[in-house]
Amino acid sequence: MENKAISGLKAADFQKEIGGKKVDLFFLRNANGYEVAVTNYGGTIVAIMVPDRQGNLANVIQGHDNIDDCVNSPEPFLSTLVGRYGNRICHGKFHLNGKVYNLSVNNGPNHLHGGPTGFHARVWDAEQIGKQTLVLRYVSAYYEEGFPGELSMTVRYTWTDENELVIDYRGTTNKKTIVNMTSHGFFSLQGIGNPTPSAMDTICEINADFFIPIDENSIPTGEIRKVEGTPFDFRTPYVVGQRIDEVTDEQIKHGAGYDHCFVLNKKEVGELSFAAKITEPNSGRTMEVYTTEPGVQFYSDNWADGYRGQHGATFGRRSALCFEAQHFPDSPNHPHFPSVVLNPGEVYLQKTIYKFGTDQ
């Protein structure tokens, strides 16, 4: 099966034992013959092979071509799952049940993306179901990275015949805890290469009337601000690079570009609805995002330095765009934000869809 991988990836290059658990590479293929490749190390998506408007296939997600490079990547969250908590928690502290919990700090003064040994750096138990579905399971121990409660998480990847990558999350806990899962795909719709082209010509639409301003440490100020009249207004399609260096805008400066959570327009809480769409004008590839989550973090890959990735590709600054469906950053410290608390007996559920197409 691996010899027929249109991504050129080989399962053997990902087969290794880490922490007593076996790592492997799994290929999902739909009726169109298009391919998604996922490793159970961090639930990392290493390939999404889809056509441009001429029918030419390319990998549109940044990743590595072997497990050692995944483990040692300069970008530890490169197209991985993120948990227990996606995004930042101020000073790594939050209150729950009258107690202060201290998390690892790994992003300046803050906790980011579950910490240095979060879900992105764990080997998940994997079960492939048919050609188009992969199920990953992981049990996060009590106090792992400082989080209360034992959390049992299941993530299912489904690659549909409509070229949709569907990610379903389900979690339960034995003690009150907080959960905010996401997938941190670095999407390069023109296709990865050496160098991977800039994503700044990409046309972007985000279904959000409001966004969440941040301070100089990328922590929400608590305000929920209208996008109208700001560089964050993507309610109608706009070229990403056109306003990304507006240095007179304090929020652009704080994020070094776009690195902000957008408050998605929802008719009801938890509905699966349209979040965003990007169109890459050179290739004609498009990607639509749908999610049940209240927010999506739009990140314009502001810190990449040209490090090497898959098959000699290089990933330079702003060569990818990320749409991380999630609850809001630092929610435990902002009571007016939607709650991220999960109680025993409750079930954490999330569905996010990345749908690929072309503009013709």
CATH of domain 2-193+291-358: 2.70.98.10
- The three-point CA angle 134-140-146 to 5° equals 140
Mean residue pLDDT of the chain comes to 97
Query: 275: closest CA among 267, 264, 285, 260?
Result: 264
pLDDT on residue 2: 45
* C-alpha span between 337 and 176 (Å, rounded): 18
- Is residue 296 scored above 70 in pLDDT? yes
- The three-point CA angle 51-56-61 to 5° equals 50
pLDDT tens-digit readout, 72-95: 999 999 999 999 999 999 999 999
Which DSSP symbol is given to 141? Answer: P
Element (H, E) at 322: strand 322-326
Which DSSP symbol is given to 255? Answer: H
Question: What positions carry a catalytic annotation?
Answer: 184, 324
| pTM, to two decimals | 0.98
- Is residue 360 scored above 80 in pLDDT? no
Element (H, E) at 252: helix 250-255
* C-alpha span between 315 and 283 (Å, rounded): 18
pLDDT tens-digit readout, 195-252: 999 999 999 999 999 999 999 999 999 999 999 999 999 999 999 999 999 989 999 9
SS (H, E, C) 43-75: CEEEEEEEECCCCCEEECECCCCCHHHHHCCCC
Grade residue 4 by pLDDT with cuts at 50, 70 and 90. confident
pLDDT on residue 3: 47
Query: 123: closest CA among 75, 81, 174?
Result: 81
In this structure, are residues 175 and 251 in contact, taking their beta carbons and an 8 Å threshold? no
Domain definitions of the chain by residue range? 2-193+291-358
pLDDT tens-digit readout, 307-336: 999 999 999 999 999 999 999 999 999 999
Element (H, E) at 254: helix 250-255
Task: For residues 86-108, give the mean pLDDT.
Answer: 97
Burial of 343 (0-12, 13-18, 19+ CB in 10 A): exposed
